[in-house]
């Protein structure tokens, strides 16, 4: 089992969990992820490693409530344990000395972008980070991104913090001011698609990290199949990062929505009574304290 050693609420329905997973921490590279299973009857979900510490053996994941499993994860606290954490999986980000690099994080995608931004900066790139959120209350990792990059631009849809607008507005401005050699965009599918269309005319090397439906993380199930350059690839073993100009984002969106009704049913049942899941964890020794339903933490923001 994998104990939770720290937990912090970053924003509404978003939580940072630090796990003791020394083997994963020793091997992790930016861009890689883990497959998490909370208890023996739980589903397997992919979560990108937001940080790791080889000396302490800790890895950090950031979880946004979007369904039953993420709602359950966000109820957990230090001392609780996860049954399975498998990884690191996926190909690491390609860290080179590109020159002027832009790393874009939309919503919780900022957590995925952060380790790559830090690695690019360590590789002597000039790194500009653009982070976006619907509103100030949903902005995460601002101070971490600021410390890891040369320049940070903050965009909010409603203008409650930073500059009002979208991450693509800031990207267009940067493209007008300077030559860009590398762009990485991570966030909602529409945002990544928009970034790809902005950089396409100038043929800027642009990459995206695809959060596809995934079960095993090793290429066996085929659930994470994505259309790249008019062919099929697997996000778990061929990615998760791909050339943004070759990804069919419309196919990705359709595949990500195919189980929406089942996800809603599962979430509704969990809202009504989380006790069965909690009792499974308690019986396995993963949960030793009393825990209530905490409705405020269980609101679904399923996309």
Binding residues for [2Fe-2S] cluster: 221, 224, 236
Say if CB 187 and CB 114 are below 8 A apart.
no
Annotated binding site: 62-64, 221, 224, 236
DSSP secondary structure code for residue 295 in this structure: G
The closest of 206, 213, 216 to 174, measured between CA atoms, is 206
Helix 167-177, helix 189-199: angle, nearest 10 = 20
Query: Measuring CA to CA, how many Å separate 191 from each of 103, 244, 253?
Result: 13, 11, 12
Task: Please state, in angstroms and rounded to a whole number, the distance separating the CA atoms of residues 210 and 188.
Answer: 9
Say if CB 240 and CB 211 are below 8 A apart.
yes
The closest of 119, 137, 40, 50 to 81, measured between CA atoms, is 40
The closest of 6, 17, 71 to 43, measured between CA atoms, is 71
Annotated binding site for FAD: 62-64
Strand 151-156 to strand 126-133: parallel, antiparallel, or no bridges (unpaired)?
parallel
Query: Measuring CA to CA, how many Å separate 256 from each of 48, 75, 110, 180, 210?
Result: 17, 25, 20, 31, 11
């Amino acid at each position: 089992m994998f104990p939770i050693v720290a937990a912090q609420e970053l924003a509404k329905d978003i939580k940072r969990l630090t796990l003791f997973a020394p083997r994963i921490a020793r091997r992790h590279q930016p861009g890689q992820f883990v497959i998490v299973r909370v208890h023996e009857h739980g589903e397997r979900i992919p979560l990108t490693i937001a940080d790791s510490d080889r000396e302490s053996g800790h890895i950090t994941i950031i979880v946004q409530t979007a369904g039953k499993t993420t709602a359950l994860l966000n109820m957990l606290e230090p001392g609780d344990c996860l049954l399975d954490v498998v990884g690191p999986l996926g190909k690491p980000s390609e860290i080179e000395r590109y020159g002027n690099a832009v790393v874009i994080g939309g919503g919780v995608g900022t957590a995925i972008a952060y380790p790559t931004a830090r690695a690019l900066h360590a590789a002597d790139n000039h790194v500009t980070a653009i982070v976006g959120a619907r509103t100030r209350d949903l902005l995460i990792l601002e101070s971490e991104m600021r410390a890891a990059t040369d320049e940070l631009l903050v965009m909010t849809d409603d203008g409650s913090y930073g500059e009002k607008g979208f991450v693509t507005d800031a990207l267009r401005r940067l493209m007008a001011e300077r030559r860009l050699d590398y762009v990485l965009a991570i966030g909602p599918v529409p945002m990544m698609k928009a970034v790809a269309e902005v950089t396409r005319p100038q043929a800027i090397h642009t990459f995206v990290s695809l959060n596809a439906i995934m079960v095993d993380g090793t290429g066996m199930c085929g659930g994470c199949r994505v259309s790249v350059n008019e062919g099929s690839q697997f996000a778990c073993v061929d990615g998760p990062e791909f050339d943004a100009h070759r990804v069919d984002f419309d196919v990705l969106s359709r595949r990500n929505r195919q189980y929406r009704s089942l996800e809603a049913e599962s979430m509704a049942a969990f809202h009504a009574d989380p006790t069965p899941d909690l009792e499974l964890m308690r019986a396995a020794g993963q949960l030793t304290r009393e825990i209530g339903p905490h409705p405020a933490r269980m609101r679904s923001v399923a996309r």
